[in-house]
Amino acid sequence: MSTSIQQDILTKIETHLEAAYPNEACGFLLGSQIRKNRIITHLIEVENRSTENQRRRFVIDPLDYMKAERFAAKEGLTLLGIYHSHPDHPPIPSVHDLEYAQQFFSYFIHRIAAGKMTDSRSYRLLDGKFIEEKFTILNLKEQIQL
Ligand code: ZN
């Protein structure tokens, strides 16, 4: 099992999450999966619909899920996960994150400290618990070799 993300996608995540700071922001991760190896090549920014504290919570509208599924089907991509920020908090899943987590998805969590992205980690749900998954960052040269 391996997870890779393109450098340009990570840069887009950084730009999105830093712009939303001090609020939490989120989006979908898309790409391809061959056997157990996944590569993230696209993202969709999503509006945080939380009506509570947007600095500590994110909520994705079911309609945004549907739109993302539709986009994936149209482009021949697979919905592989969700990214979100933890403003001034460690990139460790919260109880709320666990409650809404689903199988299969990679959950990328990014620490934004004083407005700058400082740490990125990914987690997968296994037997009802989050397990950290290692991921590889692919630069453009490596993408061409694939
Ligand atoms: Zn979280």
- CA of residue 141 to ligand 1 center, whole Å: 32
* pLDDT at residue 142, as a whole number: 60
Alpha helix segments (H runs only) across 21-131: 62-75, 95-100
Query: Span 2-145: which CATH code?
Result: 3.40.140.10
* pLDDT at residue 1, as a whole number: 84
What's the pTM value of the predicted model, to 2 decimals? Answer: 0.93
* pLDDT at residue 53, as a whole number: 85
- Collect residues with CB below 5 Å from ion ligand 1: 94, 97
CB contact set of 26 (below 8 Å; sequence gap of 6+): 46, 48, 58, 60, 82, 83, 84, 85
Pairing state between β 26-34 and 116-126: unpaired
- CA of residue 142 to ligand 1 center, whole Å: 30
List, for the chain, all residue ranges whose pLDDT scores fall below the cut of 70.
141-146
Q: Where are the domains of the chain?
A: 2-145
- CA of residue 80 to ligand 1 center, whole Å: 17
- CA of residue 78 to ligand 1 center, whole Å: 22
If phi over 0 gives left and psi between -120 and 50 gives alpha, with beta otherwise, what is residue 2? Answer: beta
